[in-house]
Structure 1
């Protein structure tokens, strides 16, 4: 059971804007800063993004002060699903990111925002503290 001091009272939200629509998404899963005491919180957001359109991503100050990344799934013109990401962002410098796919005909399928915890895995990768998900329709 989670206690009041395990997770912050205000969970960070991520804002996604595309095709004239803006949505705010709560974390699907969120843990304390050490990557423990995790709780399932929100559901995936839904956003319509036609091929060739960009998505503006804006993160809460709490995420921007830490380390975060955007990971996205898309289908290329040949019909092959691809996964790629932004690499690590944040550290008090990155509050926004514009997601544009490599080619105009590529169709975005989904986006996840990952926040790193204070802990590090044996591989040297940061432990995931929370993630925000968006399902995309054309």
Structure 2
């Protein structure tokens, strides 16, 4: 499952890199709110594409948010209707006390199923190192296993600090 997430994250980067060329009519990126330990931040998309992947904003590496998240603390996520109106999920990476990096993810939420999610580390001393909201588009791409997968329409990233 964790190797699958690594492949999914790699594919996400390729999917975003491959969505149409930036156009003057590039879609406006909605912001997502991340909350932890009494603080919240609003984060723009690292990249955002329209639902069919033909118009994308340029990649925005400055959009990655920093949020103080002590070990063992959850991260609450609130997405606007522009995000929840399409399938979306949360990808998480955390470090265990022994230094091992572990990847995990939520289930994929169907359109309008929910607008919030709480990411919880697996143990009281595990430290989140990355929390990423991924919104899927209607574009299908070939998967490594020979099947198909949906391309990402947008990705919002927080790199928690302890």
Give the helix-richer structure, 1 or 2.
Answer: 2
TM-score by length of 1: 0.90
Q: What corresponds to 1:117 in structure 2?
A: 137
What is the alpha-carbon distance in structure 2 between the residues aligned to residue 31 and residue 45 of structure 1? 19
Q: What corresponds to 2:54 in structure 1?
A: 36
For residue 151 of structure 2, give the secondary structure of its aligned residue in structure 1.
Answer: strand
Q: What corresponds to 1:135 in structure 2?
A: 159
For residue 72 of structure 2, give the secondary structure of its aligned residue in structure 1.
Answer: coil
- Number of aligned positions between the proteins: 135
Q: What corresponds to 1:3 in structure 2?
A: 24
Q: What corresponds to 1:126 in structure 2?
A: 150
RMSD (Å) for aligned C-alpha atoms: 1.4
Q: What corresponds to 2:109 in structure 1?
A: 89
1:106 aligns with 2:130: no
TM-score by length of 2: 0.78
What is the alpha-carbon distance in structure 2 between the residues aligned to residue 30 and residue 91 of structure 1? 17
What is the alpha-carbon distance in structure 2 between the residues aligned to residue 22 and residue 13 of structure 1? 12
Q: Deviations over 1:118-137 (max 9, x none)?
A: 11112321101111111111
| 1:45-64 alignment, distance < 5 Å | 45-64=65-84
Q: Which runs of 5+ in 1 are unaligned?
A: none
What is the alpha-carbon distance in structure 1 between the residues aligned to residue 59 and residue 100 of structure 2? 31
